[in-house]
Amino acid sequence: MSASHTPEPGSLRAWLLSDSPASAWQARAVRLYIGWLAFRRNPLAVAGLLIVTGLVLVAALAPVLASYSPIDQDLQARLQPPSATHWLGTDELGRDIYSRVIWGSRITLYIIALVAVIVVPVGLVMGTVAGYYGGLVDKVLMRITDVFMAFPRLILALAFVAVLEPSVENAVLAITLTSWPPYARIARAETITVRHSEFILAVRLQGASSWRILRSHVMPMCISSVVVRLTLDMAGVILIAAGLGFLGLGAQPPTPEWGLMISAGRQYILDQWWVPTMPGIAIFVVSLGFNLLGDGLRDVLDPKNG
Amino acid sequence: MVDATAPLLDVKGLNVSFRTPSGVVQAVRDVSFSLGRERLGIVGESGSGKSTTGRAILRLIPPPGVVSAERIALSGLELQSLSEREMRTIRGDRISMVMQDPKYSLNPVMRVGEQIAEAYRLHSRAGRREARDKALEMLSAVRIRDPQRVYRAFPHELSGGMGQRVMIAMMLIPSPDLLIADEPTSALDVTVRMQILAIIDDMVRERGMGLVFISHDLNLVASFCDRVLIMYAGRVVEECRASELAAARHPYTRGLFSCLPRIEAGKKTLPTLERDPAWLA
Amino acid sequence: MIEVSNLDVRFGHARSAVHAVRGVSFTVPRGATFGLVGESGSGKSTVLRAIAGLNPDWTGDVRVGGEAQGRSRSRAFYKRVQMVFQDPYGSLHPRHTVDRALGEPLRIHGIGDIERRVIAALEAVGLGRAFRFRYPHQLSGGQRQRVAIARAMILEPEVLLLDEPTSALDVSVQAEVLNLLAGLRSEHALTFVLVSHDLAVVSHMCDRLAVMNHGRVVEELTVDALRTGQATQPYTRQLIAASEGYDRETARGLVDYV
Instruction: Give chain B positions within 8 Å (CB) of A13.
Output: none
- Looking only at the bridges linking them, the beta strands covering B227-232 and B235-241 are antiparallel
CB atoms within 10 A of CB C173: 23
pLDDT value, residue A30: 87
The answer to whether residue B84 scores a pLDDT higher than 80 is yes
State whether B223 and C245 contact (CB < 8 Å): yes
Establish if A36 belongs to a structural domain: no
Instruction: Give chain C positions within 8 Å (CB) of B269.
Output: 179, 182
* pLDDT tens sequence across C204-214: 999 999 999 99
**Cα–Cα distance list, C221 to C36, C39, C209, C224 (Å):** 11, 17, 6, 8
Instruction: Give chain A positions within 8 Å (CB) of C52.
Output: 205
The pLDDT-based confidence of A68 (bands split at 50, 70, 90) is confident
Task: Report the number of distinct structural domains present in chain C.
Answer: 1
* pLDDT tens sequence across C142-182: 999 999 999 999 999 999 999 999 988 888 899 999 999 99
**Greater model confidence, C160 or A165:** C160
* pLDDT tens sequence across C32-62: 999 999 988 889 999 999 999 988 889 999 9
**Half-sphere exposure in the Cβ direction for B60 (13 Å, CA):** 17
Establish if A4 belongs to a structural domain: no
State whether B259 and C175 contact (CB < 8 Å): yes
Task: Report the number of distinct structural domains present in chain A.
Answer: 1
Which domain CATH number covers A92?
Answer: 1.10.3720.10
* Min Cα separation A135/chain C (Å): 13
Establish if A2 belongs to a structural domain: no
3-state secondary structure of C179: helix
Residue A298 belongs to domain spanning: 44-305
* Min Cα separation B104/chain C (Å): 19
Q: Which of C54, C100, C133 sits opposite A21 (nearest CB)?
A: C133
State whether C175 and B261 contact (CB < 8 Å): yes
Residues 6+ apart with CB under 8 A from B162: B144, B150
Count how many pairs of residues, chain A against chain B, have C-beta atoms within 8 Å: 5
* Min Cα separation A108/chain B (Å): 39
Closest to B41 measured CA to CA, from B167, B202, B230: B230
* Min Cα separation A242/chain C (Å): 38
Instruction: Tell me the percentage of chain C whose pLDDT exceeds 90.
Output: 67
Which residue, among B259, B269, B274, would best test binding to C if mutated, counting the most C CBs under 10 Å from its CB?
Answer: B259
Using the 8-state DSSP alphabet, how is residue A96 labeled?
Answer: B
Is some CB atom of chain A closer than 8 A to the CB atom of C148? yes
Residue C208 belongs to domain spanning: 2-252
State whether C204 and B262 contact (CB < 8 Å): yes
Please tell me which residue of chain C has the smallest CA distance to B200: C248
Q: What is the mean pLDDT of residues C231-244?
A: 90
Establish if A34 belongs to a structural domain: no
Instruction: Give chain A positions within 8 Å (CB) of B21.
Output: 3, 37
* Min Cα separation C152/chain B (Å): 22
Establish if C258 belongs to a structural domain: no
Is some CB atom of chain C closer than 8 A to the CB atom of A21? yes
Establish if A25 belongs to a structural domain: no
Mean pLDDT for all residues in chain A:
87
Mean pLDDT for all residues in chain C:
91
The pLDDT-based confidence of A306 (bands split at 50, 70, 90) is very low
Mean pLDDT for all residues in chain B:
87
Q: Cα-Cα-Cα-Cα dihedral of A284, A290, A293, A295, to 10°?
A: -90
Establish if C40 belongs to a structural domain: yes
pLDDT value, residue A302: 64
Q: What is the mean pLDDT of residues C93-114?
A: 93
* Min Cα separation C229/chain B (Å): 9
Establish if A185 belongs to a structural domain: yes
Q: Which of B195, B218, B219 sits opposite C254 (nearest CB)?
A: B195
Please tell me which residue of chain C has the smallest CA distance to A306: C137
Which residue, among A205, A210, A214, would best test binding to C if mutated, counting the most C CBs under 10 Å from its CB?
Answer: A205
**Cα–Cα distance list, A275 to A44, A79, A99 (Å):** 29, 8, 13
3-state secondary structure of A27: helix
CA separation for the pair A306, A224 (Å, rounded): 12
Closest to A100 measured CA to CA, from A286, A273, A267, A260: A260
State whether A37 and B22 contact (CB < 8 Å): no
Q: Cα-Cα-Cα-Cα dihedral of A257, A259, A262, A267, to 10°?
A: -110
pTM: 0.86
Which residue, among C49, C74, C93, would best test binding to A if mutated, counting the most A CBs under 10 Å from its CB?
Answer: C93
Yes or no: say if B158 and B101 are a contact pair by the CB < 8 Å rule.
Answer: no
Please tell me which residue of chain B has the smallest CA distance to C238: B191
Which domain CATH number covers C21?
Answer: 3.40.50.300
* Min Cα separation B197/chain C (Å): 8
Instruction: Give chain A positions within 8 Å (CB) of B64.
Output: none
Using the 8-state DSSP alphabet, how is residue A92 labeled?
Answer: T
Instruction: Give chain A positions within 8 Å (CB) of C155.
Output: 206
Instruction: Give chain B positions within 8 Å (CB) of C238.
Output: 191
- Looking only at the bridges linking them, the beta strands covering B71-74 and B23-35 are unpaired
Please give the full DSSP string across chain B, using - where no structure is assigned: ---TTS-SEEEEEEEEEEEETTEEEEEEEEEEEEE-SSEEEEE--TTSSHHHHHHHHTT---TTEEEE-SEEEETTEEGGGS-HHHHHHHHHHTEEEE-S-HHHHS-TTS-HHHHHHHHHHHHH---HHHHHHHHHHHHHHTT-S-HHHHHT--GGGS-HHHHHHHHHHHHHTT--SEEEEESTTTTS-HHHHHHHHHHHHHHHHHH--EEEEEES-HHHHHHH-SEEEEEETTEEEEEEEGGGGGG--SHHHHHHHHTS--SSS-SPPPPPPPPPGGGG-
Residues 6+ apart with CB under 8 A from A201: C54, C83, C85, C91
Instruction: Give chain C positions within 8 Å (CB) of A206.
Output: 78, 82, 104-105, 108-109, 151, 155
Instruction: Give chain A positions within 8 Å (CB) of C106.
Output: none
Q: What is the mean pLDDT of residues A181-208?
A: 92
State whether C138 and A199 contact (CB < 8 Å): no
Give the domain ranges of chain B: 102-175
Question: Of the ranges A59-68, A230-239, B184-193, B253-262, which one carries the lowest mean pLDDT score?
Answer: B184-193
pLDDT value, residue A6: 54
